[in-house]
């Protein structure tokens, strides 16, 4: 059977940004096959399930997954179509594919300095950096309980890591740092938490296998502050599930819009799922105004990591830079009415810039 990419557009703006992204995919990688499946509320509507069996079968035969977004309007979360939609789709997918590593690149666009919360001179000093977040362990997956003790409710969530979980992401992080600037910052709370002390020990042990990489540690509270004060110091950052969740969202504010942020998740065998960092933005749905960059950059990550097509990935990034440099923007990043382009209009420009 011919290898293919499983495409799961999902809900909200997912289908529209995915349709536009696939126009670019067909141009830069015309030999790849894309097969579409249902996920999230769209799947529930058709099958009564957020992650139906047909979708599991589709992804089991795929080389990679290109995912859109799932979920309904925040004020309709109690409706059956949307209830637990994210958990039933995304967490179920992560579990099904055993995804344990999440990669979030943070890219600074000189043309978009004005939309960043950073001062211009700070923004200009920033280098692109990458955050790696462990996805399968920590407080999200440890024992949980709510019990009555001394006549009041007590809730517990256990933060737990074993050595092999940490080793798996440590190797990824050191290998990525080796391909970049040989600098790795590991984030933990080793002054207080035993799970962080184990995290730090495994990072130190793994460092012996990568003598070219300089490993430093940052406590998570300090890291949160440094991300805002001095983001130019970061190149590759690695963190556990909870701290990685928080610092990657904080870092995504720096370039200026969630609509710019792609992400990739991998399992230990290197199988990848690629998706925008943001959600389904229901208020923008069907208006042809959403920013397609996060989806498009997720495609670029997929071409690079799952298909080793660095040239196609860099073609996409150059075409985006050119469009932004010429002043074209979707509404979320535009300053003036005259700059505004639609979702499909932005992709028309990308296609034009690729030629």
Question: Footprint of ligand NAD on this chain (CB under 6 A)?
Answer: 13, 69-72, 74, 86, 90, 258-259, 275, 278-284, 290-291, 294, 332
- Nearer to ligand NAD (CB atom), residue 231 or residue 278: 278
- Nearer to ligand NAD (CB atom), residue 12 or residue 231: 12
Q: Cβ of residue 156: shortest distance to ligand NAD, in angstroms? A: 25
167 is catalytic: no
Chain length of the chain:
355
Q: To 5 degrees, how large is the angle CA 300–CA 128–CA 309?
A: 25
Three-state secondary structure readout of 131-173: EEEECCCHHHCCCEEEEEECCEEEEEECCCCCHHHHHHHHHHH
249 is catalytic: yes
Which string of DSSP letters, residue by residue, matches 181-243?
TSEEEEEE-TTT-HHHHHHHHHHHHHHTT-TTSEEEEEEHHHHHHHHHH-GGG-SEEEE-HHH
Query: Annotated catalytic residue: which of 4, 27, 140, 340?
Result: 140
Q: Cβ of residue 138: shortest distance to ligand NAD, in angstroms? A: 19
Strand partners, 63: none
Q: Cβ of residue 294: shortest distance to ligand NAD, in angstroms? A: 5
- Nearer to ligand NAD (CB atom), residue 213 or residue 324: 324
* Burial class (CB within 10 angstroms; exposed 0-12, middle 13-18, buried 19+) of 61: exposed
Q: Cβ of residue 204: shortest distance to ligand NAD, in angstroms? A: 33
Per-residue CA distances from 75 to 72, 268, 282 (Å)? 8, 37, 11
Residues 6+ apart with CB under 8 A from 348: none
31 is catalytic: no
Rounded Cα distance between 171 and 186, Å, is: 12
Could you list the beta-strand ranges (E) of the chain.
4-10, 33-36, 64-69, 101-106, 129-134, 144-149, 152-157, 183-188, 214-219, 236-239, 262-266, 272-276
- Nearer to ligand NAD (CB atom), residue 218 or residue 241: 241
Q: Cβ of residue 278: shortest distance to ligand NAD, in angstroms? A: 3
- Nearer to ligand NAD (CB atom), residue 71 or residue 137: 71
189 is catalytic: yes
Query: Annotated catalytic residue: which of 123, 245, 274, 328?
Result: 245
Query: Annotated catalytic residue: which of 189, 210, 274, 332?
Result: 189
Query: Annotated catalytic residue: which of 35, 45, 95, 221?
Result: 221
Q: Cβ of residue 211: shortest distance to ligand NAD, in angstroms? A: 38
221 is catalytic: yes
Residue 348: in which H helix or E strand, if any? helix 343-354
Q: Cβ of residue 25: shortest distance to ligand NAD, in angstroms? A: 17
Query: Annotated catalytic residue: which of 249, 322, 340, 348?
Result: 249
Sheet holding 262-266, edge to edge: 33-36, 4-10, 64-69, 272-276, 262-266, 101-106, 129-134, 236-239, 183-188, 214-219
Chain CA centroid to CA 102, Å: 7
Q: Which amino acids are annotated catalytic?
A: 140, 189, 221, 245, 249
């Amino acid at each position: 059977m011919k290898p293919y990419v499983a495409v799961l557009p999902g809900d909200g703006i997912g289908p529209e940004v995915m349709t536009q992204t696939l126009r670019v995919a067909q141009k830069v990688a015309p030999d790849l096959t894309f097969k579409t499946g249902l996920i999230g509320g769209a799947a529930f509507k058709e099958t009564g399930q957020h992650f139906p069996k047909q979708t599991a079968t589709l992804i089991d035969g795929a080389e990679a997954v290109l995912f859109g977004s799932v979920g309904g309007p925040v004020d309709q979360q109690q409706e059956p179509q949307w209830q637990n939609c994210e958990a039933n789709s995304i967490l179920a997918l992560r579990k099904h594919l055993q995804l344990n590593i999440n990669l979030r690149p943070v890219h600074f666009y000189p043309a978009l300095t004005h939309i960043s919360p950073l001062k211009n001179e700070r923004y200009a000093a920033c280098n692109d950096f990458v955050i790696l977040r462990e996805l399968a362990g920590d407080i999200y997956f440890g024992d949980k309980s709510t019990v009555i003790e001394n006549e009041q409710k007590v809730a517990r969530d256990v933060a737990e890591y074993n050595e092999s979980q940490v080793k798996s992401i440590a190797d990824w992080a050191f290998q990525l740092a080796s391909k970049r600037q040989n600098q790795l910052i590991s984030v933990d709370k080793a002054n207080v938490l035993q799970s962080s002390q184990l995290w730090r020990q495994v990072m130190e042990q793994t460092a012996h296998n990568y003598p070219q990489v300089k490993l430093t540690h940052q406590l998570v509270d300090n890291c949160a502050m440094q991300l805002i004060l001095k983001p130019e110091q970061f190149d590759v950052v690695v963190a556990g599930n909870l701290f990685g969740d928080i610092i990657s969202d904080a870092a995504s504010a720096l370039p200026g819009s969630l609509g710019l942020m792609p992400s990739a998740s991998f399992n230990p065998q290197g199988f990848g799922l690629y998706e925008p960092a943001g959600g389904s933005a229901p208020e923008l749905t069907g208006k042809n105004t959403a920013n397609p960059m996060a989806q498009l950059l997720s495609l670029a990550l997929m071409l690079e990591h799952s298909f080793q097509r660095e040239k196609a990935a860099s073609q996409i990034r150059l075409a985006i830079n050119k469009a932004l440099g010429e002043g074209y923007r979707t509404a979320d990043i535009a300053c003036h009415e005259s700059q505004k382009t639609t979702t499909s209009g932005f992709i028309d420009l990308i296609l034009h810039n690729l030629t």
